[in-house]
Amino acid sequence: MSKIIPFKAVRPAPDKIGLVTCRNYDDYSQAELAAWLNFNPYSFLHVINPAYAHSQKISWDKRFKGVALKYKDFKTDGIFIQEEKAVFYVYEIQTKKQTFTGIIAGTSVEDYQNDVIKKHEDTLQYRVELFKDYLHQTQFNTEPVLITYPDSVEINTWLLLKKQSEPIYSFSTTTKEKHTLWKIDTQSDIDWLQEHFENIPNLYIADGHHRSASAEVLFEQDKHLGNSNLNYFMSFLIAESNVKIYEFNRMVRDLNHHSKEAFLEKLADNFIIKCKDQELWKPENKFEFGMYLDGVFYALFYKHTIEEVSGTSSILNNLDAQILYNKVLFPILGIEDLRNDERIDYISGKQSITSIKQIVDEGEFEVGFMLYPSDISEIKALADNNLIMPPKSTYIEPKFRSGLIVYEL
C-alpha cells in the first residue's frame, strides 16, 4: 500500500513562471550561468547560487544560509506565492521526441523505510549528509524524487480528463520544451487519487536516491520537533511506460599497459568481435556492446547470454553494465572502483556516438564503450531483490524544472 499526500506548495507567480524556473544547476556551463544571473533577476539560479557562493572559501553552512535568505527574498518580493490549501499537481513535459505526464505529491518516509518505495542504486554517505544539511538549513526542497508506478488504465484515464481543464501554467523554455501544470484541489479528486495509490503495493525510485535518503536522515534527526512535513518528501510520480531510460557509456583513458592487439585478444575470450571500421555502430539489443578504439568502431557480442549463476545474483550478473565491468573493465583494464577511479568517465546515451569518437580522437581517452540501455523490468527486478546497479548505469528522463514547485519543511 503506497501513501501519497497533497501539500501546501510554494510556486512562482503566474506572470513570472517562464523567467523563474531553470534546469538543474549542474547542467549550465559557466558562461550560461553568468548570462542567466546577469540578465534575469527572476531566475531561481539566484536562489541556489547566492551572490557570494562562487567563492571557494565560503563554508557549506554559510552557502546554505545564503540560499535560505535569498529564497525568503523571492517570497517577500512576490516572485513566489503559496497555495492556500494542500493540493496535488498534474505536470506535463513535452520534448521534441516524447511527452511525459505525472503527478506531483508528497511520498512517505515510512514507506521508504519499509521498502514500499524500492531502490536500485547505492548512495554516497557524504552526499546524503550534505543534502540533509542543505534541507535542514534552507527548510525547503524543489527537486522531487522521480518515482514510477505500474501502469494503470484508471489513472491514465483520470490524467487525460484532468488535462482537459485549464492549466495554471503553460510555458516553453529555451531548450524547446513545453511545460504545463494543472492544480488538483477538489477533495473528491484528492480522495480518489489517494485511494488508487493505496492499492499499489510498491513504488520504485527511478532518479533521486540521494534526495530520498537525505529526507530519511533528516526525518530521523529532527522528528522530535513534531514537524509533520518531515514525514514526507516531494516526488514526481510517473507510469513505468512513460519514463525514458538512456544508457551511460564508458570512456577509459588507457588500456592498462596492454597493446591494442593483446587487448582485442583478451576481449575475444568472452565476446565475438566484429570490426565496423568507420560505421557509427551502437548496440541494438541486450548483450551487445559498441567499442571505439584507435579510430575504428567494433561490435562486441557477449558469448554467454545466460549467466551460469543460480539465484538472485544472476539478475545483476546479466545486466549489461555489470557484464562490461565483470569481463572487461575490472579484469582487463584494472578498474575496480567505478565511482572514484580517475581512469574512467561517463557520457550519457543522449549524446551521439560522434561525441564518443571525438573525445577518443582528441587523445585524452583511449577507448570508448557503448551500452544498450536497461529497461524498467531490469530496474524493478534488481530493486525487488535488494540488488544495486553499478554506478552510472542509467540516465533517466524526465528531468524536473528547478523552482517550479517548492516543498517547504
For strand 367-370 and strand 4-5, is the pairing parallel, antiparallel, or unpaired? Answer: unpaired
Residue with cell 548483450: 287
3-class DSSP string for the chain:
CCCEECECCEEECHHHHHHHCECCHHHCCHHHHHHHHHHCCCCCHHHHCCCCCCCCCCCHHHHHHHHHHHHHHHHHCCCEEECCCCEEEEEEEECCCCEEEEEEEEEEHHHHHCCCEECCCCCCHHHHHHHHHHHHHHCEECCCEEEEECCCHHHHHHHHHHCCCCCCEEEECCCCCEEEEEEECCHHHHHHHHHHHHCCCCEEEEECHHHHHHHHHHHHHHHHHCCHHHHEEEEEEEEHHHCEEEEEEEEECCCCCCCHHHHHHHHCCCEEEEEEECCCCCCCCCCEEEEEECCEEEEEEECCCCCCCCCCHHHHHCCHHHHHHHHHHCCCCCCCCCCCCCCEEEEECCCCHHHHHHHHHCCCCCEEEECCCCCHHHHHHHHHCCCCCCCCCEEEECCCCECCCEEEC
CATH number for the domain spanning 309: value is 3.30.1760
Residues 301-336: tens digit of each pLDDT = 999 765 544 455 688 888 999 999 999 999 999 999
Residue with cell 523563474: 20
21 and 103 together in one domain: yes
254 and 228 together in one domain: no
Cell for 130?
A: 550534505
Residues 77-133: tens digit of each pLDDT = 999 999 999 999 999 999 998 999 999 999 999 999 999 999 999 888 999 999 999
288 and 215 together in one domain: no
For strand 232-239 and strand 145-149, is the pairing parallel, antiparallel, or unpaired? Answer: parallel
pLDDT category at 24 given cuts 50, 70, 90 is confident
CB atoms within 10 A of CB 293: 18
Averaged pLDDT of the chain: 93
Is residue 258 scored above 80 in pLDDT?
yes
Please name which of 384, 392, 217, 356 lies closest in space to residue 283, comparing C-alpha atoms: 356
Q: Where does residue 403 fall: left (phi above 0), alpha (psi -120 to 50 degrees), or beta otherwise?
A: left
CATH number for the domain spanning 143: value is 3.90.1530.10
198 and 61 together in one domain: yes
pLDDT, position 306: 56
| Largest interatomic CA distance in the chain | 68
Split into its structural domains, the chain has a count of 2
Name, in order, each residue with C-beta under 8 angstroms of 179's C-beta and a sequence gap of 6 or more. Answer: 21, 91, 92, 93, 94, 169, 170, 171, 172, 173, 401, 404
Comparing 19-23, 69-73, 307-311, 385-389, which segment has the lowest mean pLDDT? 307-311
DSSP annotation of 22 reads B
Give the structural domain span for 82.
4-244+397-408
134 and 213 together in one domain: yes
pLDDT, position 310: 47
Residues 391-403: tens digit of each pLDDT = 889 999 999 999 9
262 and 380 together in one domain: yes
pLDDT, position 54: 57
279 and 237 together in one domain: no
220 beta partners:
none
18 and 139 together in one domain: yes
pLDDT category at 141 given cuts 50, 70, 90 is very high
274 and 403 together in one domain: no
Measured between alpha carbons, how far is 68 from 11 in angstroms, rounded to an integer? 16
125 and 143 together in one domain: yes
Distances (CA, A) of 94 to 143, 171, 180, 196, 296: 19, 11, 9, 26, 37
Torsion of CA 355, 358, 364, 365, to 10 degrees: 70
Measured between alpha carbons, how far is 323 from 265 in angstroms, rounded to an integer? 18
102 and 240 together in one domain: yes
Residues 334-392: tens digit of each pLDDT = 999 998 899 999 999 999 999 999 999 999 999 999 999 999 999 999 999 999 998 88
82 and 122 together in one domain: yes
